[in-house]
Chain A
């Protein structure tokens, strides 16, 4: 599964932040999992474990995962909505495409208020690093 490549990115970024801040040993890392990309939690966690083992500065770090809700905002009409309102309109193929490339949401999701595909993804797009603490 391609979640491993995202897990690798998170571990690399966390290590980079730790080095930049002079943190000798990271105690906790908080990671946001964007609702839109719907990353497989188990695959991602397994990936984190594999890559964490290769970064000494993260050896003892607790990895906390938080769901980052997907919020969408229509540019033409200003309507804001949560992804949940649009999920029922998505086919399995739509979801798979969005899982691999979240921007493809613009090919299948439209504003529930005015029908426009011109919306901003204001939150919960993909994987993000929320905190790195020593």
Chain B
């Protein structure tokens, strides 16, 4: 062989074999609430009795651990990396390892880091693995297409045209990559009954609106408070529709 072969792809599918469904929360644009929706979804699904995992793949700006109130998520080594459980959810993030210090990662580094996490993490048997995807159409999305082809993308958008312009591109990209789309969620909506903006093309399945909730920010890190927010009620509605249609 000219160059050593990377053995890690050979076991990714094996690591995910016990996971019934993978939901990748994506959205193209930053700051629209992907992490909030991802964490909320994981908690909501867990509350419905599902065995849930949560993987924060935003390697540059992980924030799921902040929402969950776990400054340094735990992991134990037992034949591989076994994520600790937070509020009933098996949770893994780069925050587990980075000690709050940013690692400047270029394309190949991101792919390597994602592949490493996928190859060595032992998720066991789960009903759902929720993946919090970073913004953008770069390496992480391309890597998910390659290593997580059965992940269903749940696209988060907001009513602002500043978001919608990227949401349309996100749906286009997912279509071109041939990746499954679980549906679209309207976050930061004026109310919980807001319709899907007309500029988002059908047949993207609409999973509902999550009302903008001023109380959400104060709930960060406090799961009891989070579960009492209108935001969480909206996510529970999304979770129900996701399960019903899945």
Contacts and interface: CB of A to CB of B under 8 A. Distances in A.
B168 to A, nearest CB: 32
Contacts of A108: 101
Contacts of A118: 104, 106
A16 B119 CA distance: 16
Contact of B113 (A4, A103, A127, A130): A103
B10 A117 contact: no
A104 B7 contact: no
Nearest to B114: A103
A133 B1 CA distance: 10
A68 B80 contact: no
A69 interface: no
Contacts of B10: 9, 12-13, 16
A130 B112 CA distance: 18
A102 B113 CA distance: 8
A44 to B, nearest CB: 12
Interface in B75-118: 77, 79-81, 94, 97-99, 101-106, 108-110, 112-113, 116-117
Q: Which of A12, A14, A68, A120 has the most CB of B within 10 A?
A: A12
A93 interface: yes
A106 B104 contact: yes
A5 B80 contact: yes
23 contacts: A2-B81, A2-B120, A4-B80, A5-B80, A5-B122, A6-B8, A8-B14, A9-B10, A12-B7, A12-B11, A12-B14, A14-B7, A68-B4, A97-B98, A100-B97, A101-B94, A101-B117, A104-B103, A107-B103, A120-B108, A129-B5, A130-B1, A131-B1
